[in-house]
Amino acid sequence: MVKKEKVIVYVDGFNLYRGMTRHWKDIKWLDVYAMSRSLVKAHQEVVAVKYFTSRLRDDPPKEKRQNTYLEAIAEMGVENIYGYYAHGKTTCQNCKCTWISYKEKMTDVKMALSIVEDMDLYDVALVISGDSDMIPSIERVSEANKQVVVAFPPNVHSNALKESASETFKIRRKALKNNQLPDEIVKKDGYVLRKPDEWNVSL
């Protein structure tokens, strides 16, 4: 029996979410682990899926939906790794009005570090992102003769990232639509996670 290549999947959560929901609103309840398995080749096996994101702030309904989703994918075997939101002031250049805004911090840094730190644990790193900040990590891993495949989320692309990777491809709608979580997920402690009502839309 031929030994399969070990694949660790690194998911830029917000990059994927923004790309796939730009035109499609019916695929938010995505089973990230199942989708990841559908993306690898027959001679490969997924040994871990890491999902990098930050928890939303100051919007309780959205926070609740995000928390439910993160619990759901964790129940399916995904490891969630968190950055954070830092707040600052944004000023409109036209009217000079100022308001508090939030910017995601550390998520891309943690993802980049993880790709390098895990180098001995995989044969192939599958990076789901279009963020060119991943390039230094990809180059470092490539120098160690590890293969890095970049899967671009829908509506996301980077020529520089494409040039740095061993291989690239675009995630299609079919891979998203065919890998949705069940509407209800019973956790090990008996708690039931339910798909948010707001996400029950059809196209």
CATH code assigned at 42: 3.40.50.1010
When pLDDT is averaged across residues 104-109 and rounded to a whole number, the result is: 76
Q: How many domains does the chain have?
A: 1
What's the pLDDT at 107?
A: 87
> How far is the CA of 74 from the CAs of 13, 80, 115, 199, in angstroms?
13, 7, 20, 19
What phi, psi does 151 have (nearest 5°)?
-105, 115
| Residue 87: strand, helix, or coil | strand
% of the chain with per-residue pLDDT over 90: 81
pLDDT band per the 50, 70, 90 thresholds, residue 203: low
Regarding pTM above 0.85, the answer is yes
Helices (H), ranges, 4-127: 13-21, 32-39, 60-75, 107-117
CA 198 to chain centre: 21
pLDDT 10s digits, 53-81:
998 887 899 999 999 999 999 999 999 99
Model confidence over 163-182: pLDDT tens digits? Answer: 999 999 999 999 999 999 99
Cβ atoms within 10 Å of 26's Cβ, excluding its own: 15
d(CA 86, CA 158): 26
Domain range for 103 = 5-199
What pLDDT band is residue 99 in, cutting at 50, 70 and 90?
A: very low
CB within 8 A of 98, min separation 6: which ones? 89, 90, 91, 92
